[in-house]
Structure 1
Amino acid sequence: MVKAKYKSVLDLGEKLNIQDGDVKVTGNVLEIRGTAASPYHKDLLWDEIKKVGGDDPSDVVANIKVMDDSIYAKHTVASDESLSLIAKHYFKDPMKYKQIFAANTDVLKNPDIIHTGQELVIPNLK
């Protein structure tokens, strides 16, 4: 029953290609373990857990590690995107585009010019 409740979390884990994943049910508690590619992917999983179980769910225990925590995420630029739109997506603040630009000066020369297909580093802002 608890596994069915958190199906969307398990599906997201598959979609994000969580490595070394392990899911088991002990009593009425779902135990989830695995390694996410980035802190962003880990945050997505926790957001989904909270969406299903509330801010402090008692029926799930998750131990999600991160492969690479030197950056927040990697982002491949899609058509019609801007740095401010990307910043709004990851940080909910379009003005954080400056930090994204600063982290990518090896591939970007102007914050107003990005190209579809470019892979950008999304920096940790903590």
Structure 2
Amino acid sequence: MTVKTKYQPVLDLGEALNVKDGKVEETENKLKVWGTTKTQYEKNLLWDKIKEIGGNNPDDIMADIKVEDTSVYHRHIVKSGETLGKIAKHYYKDPSKYQAIFNANTDKLKNPDLIYPDQELTIPNL
């Protein structure tokens, strides 16, 4: 199996995330990848996938992933049935951090218990 084949799920994820300026090279059993994600959250998704495949310190891949918008952690489109607590648990692994999301979106939200499908919420850096 080539190293590119091994890390194909990372490349597929990068494509699904629409990574900008993506570039991939395979040389001497090492995969080199470059690109720019929209947010830190997307960069973290890519690194999580790399670690899932290659372990915490893979020596067969070199990734240079930049972030386009460092002012936010992510931008989230609300889906039916979601709450700020569920969204906070997804991004921060802690539902009690919903207040940070509410505070970052007071221009759109007047009550943390009232969010609606298709609203775009800023997920702040903590």
Into which bin does the TM-score normalised by the smaller protein fall?
over 0.9
SS in 1 for 2:57: coil
SS in 2 for 1:43: helix
Superposed displacement of residue 119, structure 1: 0.4
Query: Which residue number in structure 1 is paired with residue 62 of structure 2?
Result: 61
Query: Which residue number in structure 2 is paired with residue 32 of structure 1?
Result: 33
Query: Which residue number in structure 1 is paired with residue 101 of structure 2?
Result: 100
Does 2:122 correspond to 1:121? yes
Structure 1 segments (4+ residues) deviating >6 Å: none
Taking the aligned partners of 1:100 and 1:22, their CA distance within structure 2 comes to: 34
Taking the aligned partners of 1:40 and 1:69, their CA distance within structure 2 comes to: 10
SS in 1 for 2:9: helix
- Corresponding letter in the other structure for 1:83: L
The TM-score, its normalising length taken from structure 2, stands at 0.99
Query: Which residue number in structure 2 is paired with residue 6 of structure 1?
Result: 7
How much identity, in percent, do the aligned residues show? 58
Taking the aligned partners of 1:41 and 1:117, their CA distance within structure 2 comes to: 20
List per-residue Cα deviations over 1:57-93 (Å, max 9, x = no partner): 0000000000001000000000000000000000100
Taking the aligned partners of 2:109 and 2:60, their CA distance within structure 1 comes to: 45
Taking the aligned partners of 2:30 and 2:71, their CA distance within structure 1 comes to: 32
Work out the number of aligned pairs and report it.
125
Taking the aligned partners of 1:30 and 1:48, their CA distance within structure 2 comes to: 14
List per-residue Cα deviations over 1:87-106 (Å, max 9, x = no partner): 00001000000000000000
Does 2:112 correspond to 1:111? yes
Taking the aligned partners of 2:71 and 2:14, their CA distance within structure 1 comes to: 21
Query: Which residue number in structure 1 is paired with residue 46 of structure 2?
Result: 45
Taking the aligned partners of 1:103 and 1:29, their CA distance within structure 2 comes to: 41
Superposed displacement of residue 26, structure 1: 1.3
